[in-house]
Amino acid sequence: MQRAIADEDRGLHGLGVELESDALEHLIVMSNGDARVALNALEMATFATEPDAEGKRRIPLSTIEDALQHRALLYDKAGDQHYDIISALHKSLRGSDPDASLYWLGRMLEAGEDPLYVARRLVRFASEDVGMADPQALVVAMAAQQAVHFIGMPEGNLALAQAVVYLATAPKSNALYRAYSKVQQDVERTRTDPVPLHLRNPETRLMRELGYGKGYKYAHDFPGHFVEQQNLPHALHRKRYYSPSDQGFEKEIERRLKAWWGKKEDEE
């Protein structure tokens, strides 16, 4: 844009164009990387602006808005608006409100927010706030990211909108998030105990002599393809990290875990 304004041979230098900073920013953001759109809008705005007494065509934001037929929204991608609105989107999704979620999504996208930034936040939400209550949520969020990457904007906005509605209306659970948080704490605070011998692969004769793999129970050889055995380090034996909620698919997960590990749970 700066070259187009300054170039004497192929640009607009002879017309005395001066583009206000907010007008330039809006032109760049709303052209979405398409130089043809930006140049056409700049040219239209130039000829729609009368030169002043000094022969300068000072182009304000309002003229660029008219040329682009797109209003500049109050949204600072590097300031409080950025963080406030993404927070509002996240909390609206968590609150199972598809209408509010769509609104905050639109506020960001229509103001020129990076759609892949939004997609990354949706992927995070799918695991953090939906989790195993609906495992398909992560698939939908990743599909939206791929759609935006593949077809770009503005066409990709509907893919993000579809993901937002899916996530807002999905059953919610933070059980996976809490489980991994517990794991992080134990990894940081407890000693790094060795892998139990029966879980190690006996790759060499020496390993076999040391007891690697001894006593390991191959689950597929047992009824229901399950057999109880110790899979955690000895110091963490019987430690439970993941406790499914009663939401969505996690009800089925809880049923399976009780069927497999019910005896262990009763002992605890």
The DSSP line for 66-100 is HHHT-PPPS--TTSHHHHHHHHHHHHHHHTT-HHH
The closest of 4, 198, 30 to 113, measured between CA atoms, is 30
Q: What is the pLDDT of residue 30?
A: 78
| 198-240 pLDDT tens trace | 989 999 999 988 999 999 999 999 999 998 888 898 888 888 8
Q: What is the pLDDT of residue 82?
A: 75
3-state helix vs strand vs coil in the chain, percent to 5: 60, 0, 35
CATH for 2-68, among 3.40.50.300, 3.40.605.10, 1.10.8.60, 3.40.1740.10?
A: 1.10.8.60
CATH for 80-169, among 3.40.50.300, 3.20.20.210, 1.20.272.10, 1.10.3720.10?
A: 1.20.272.10
Query: Where are the domains positioned within the chain?
Result: 2-68, 80-169
Dihedral (CA of 256, 257, 260, 263) sign: negative
Q: What is the pLDDT of residue 265?
A: 45
Burial readout 29-45 (b: 16 or more C-beta within 10 A, e: otherwise): bbbeeeeeebbebbbeb
- Residue 72: CB atoms within 10 A of its CB come to 19
Instruction: Kindly give the parts of the chain with pLDDT less than 50.
Output: 264-268
Q: Could you give the dihedral angle defined by the CA atoms of residues 158, 163, 164 and 169, in that order, rounded to the nearest 10 degrees?
A: 130
Domains 2-68 and 80-169 share a fold: no
What the block records as the tokens of 59 is: 């182009």
